[in-house]
Structure 1
Amino acid sequence: MAELWVISLTWWMVSLSGVLMPGPVSAMAITEGARRGPAAGPLLTAGHALAEAAMLGALAAGVSTVLRQPGVVGVVGLLGGAVLAWMGWGILRAAQRGEVVPAHPGAAAGAETASGSGRAGPGRARLVRAGLVVTAGNPYWLLWWATVGTSYFLLFTRFGPLAIFLFFFIGHLALDLGWNTLLATLVGAGRGRIPPAAYRVVVGVAGLFVLAMSVYFLISGLRFLTA
């Protein structure tokens, strides 16, 4: 049991180092936090979790060697770069038009429910899809899981399926959830108190970052394909 905790702690520290690195999901958490408040963090993480659950299933099926192939990583990079370019352009246009600032702090929340029923509206589903797409389209997320993630997965297999699910998967996902929610909360807490122009600047910078990431992914994808 002590060995499991030691391995888990090192895994969580390694995971935290990856979570804290700026990336497209972090940029989306900031952008959507300005639009929709703290709820954006868990919704984006839900989409991110779908991608990571699929990755866990792939690791269990033993496909990590396939994920290391340069051709696979290259194609993922090109597709991910194209999607991020589309998303980044949309964020910049929204910032320019002032669409990122809700009319009042509760406006975004009200728009997300159907007649007070509490059911998820199109906006919430879109955030979940966004979290899934920007995660799955990141070639370095794929490489990270094919190398670092796979190595730790093999360590956890000695402790059985329950340890893999709780300590490996849920432990890692909890860090993603905490960080994305924190970012969205910090930005969303200022809705109604920060001038609209300042919000447009913050969201515009996030959009530029997403565009920069798209260029990075596209170039990286081409490099993997031509290596």
Structure 2
Amino acid sequence: MDLLSFIAEVEAITVSGALSPGPLTVSAAGLGIRSGKRAGLLVSLGHMAFEFPLVLLISTGLSIAQSFKQLLSIIGGAFLLYFALTQIRSLGKVRIDASERNGNAFIAGILLTALNPYFIIWWLTVGAKLVMDSMQFPLGVMLMYALHVWMDFAWLTFVAYVFYRGSRLNESLLKAIMGILSLILIFFGLEFIYNAFR
């Protein structure tokens, strides 16, 4: 895989997860009503405080166990397909609850990341495949994580700012974006599985 293909893979897979209206998005929206974009930044920092050590741990283990690449490709591809189909089925229910919340945004970012089983599963399957792909480049893990995490910061800060301004995201537009991202997930899921047997 060349560098540009790798960058495209990381960005496409990351955006599909970062823009999903999950716990972190809801937290950034609720806390952003009172604190503005600062809340989004703090939620992102809390998210990164748990995520980055996890990525380093995965990269350490994978450097020892490269033989699991085929299995991880299959599992990661299957999870992407499952996640995409779940998103498509739930498009009629997509809503971002902007109810006001109290608490520290940084701590919220850590807890909503650490206590989200889907986040852990994602990094142990789909994310692990990205980590493995990154190892063919100098400082590849650091590059992969930088390509990944900037989108979390951008999205959560944007959501916090929008709700601080008293706006609402257009749900029809959000559903359309989620539908497109689900199709991208399906493409990468099939590609992961195909590459496992190639």
1:11-62 per-position Cα deviation (integer Å, ceiling 9, x unaligned) = 1101100111111100000000112111111110000011111111211221
Tell me if 1:169 matches 2:145: yes
Tell me if 1:187 matches 2:163: yes
Aligned match for 2:138, one of 139, 160, 164: 160
Tell me if structure 2 keeps the 8 A contact 1:47–1:127: yes
CA distance in 1, matches of 2:5, 2:28: 31
RMSD: 2.6
Aligned residue identity for 2:14? S
- Once the two structures are aligned, what percentage of the paired residues are identical? 29
Partner of residue 86, structure 2 = none
SS in 1 for 2:20: coil
CA distance in 2, matches of 1:14, 1:57: 19
Partner of residue 15, structure 2 = 16
Tell me if structure 2 keeps the 8 A contact 1:25–1:131: yes
Give the ranges of 4+ consecutive aligned residues of structure 1 lying more than 6 Å apart after TM superposition.
Answer: none
CA distance in 1, matches of 2:107, 2:53: 14
Partner of residue 57, structure 2 = 58
Larger radius of gyration: 1
TM-score, normalising length: structure 1? 0.54
Partner of residue 154, structure 2 = 178
Q: How does 1:44-193 map to 2 (within 5 A)?
A: 44-62=43-61, 100=100, 126-161=104-139, 163-166=140-143, 168-190=144-166
Query: Per-residue deviation at 1:8?
Result: 1.2
Query: Per-residue deviation at 1:160?
Result: 2.4
TM-score, normalising length: structure 2? 0.62
SS in 1 for 2:36: helix
Partner of residue 87, structure 1 = none
Unpaired stretches in structure 2, ≥5 consecutive residues = 73-96, 169-198
Unpaired stretches in structure 1, ≥5 consecutive residues = 69-91, 102-122, 199-227
Query: Per-residue deviation at 1:178?
Result: 0.7
Partner of residue 35, structure 2 = 36
Aligned residue identity for 1:56? V
Tell me if structure 1 keeps the 8 A contact 2:37–2:164: yes
CA distance in 2, matches of 1:57, 1:10: 19
Aligned residue identity for 2:111? V
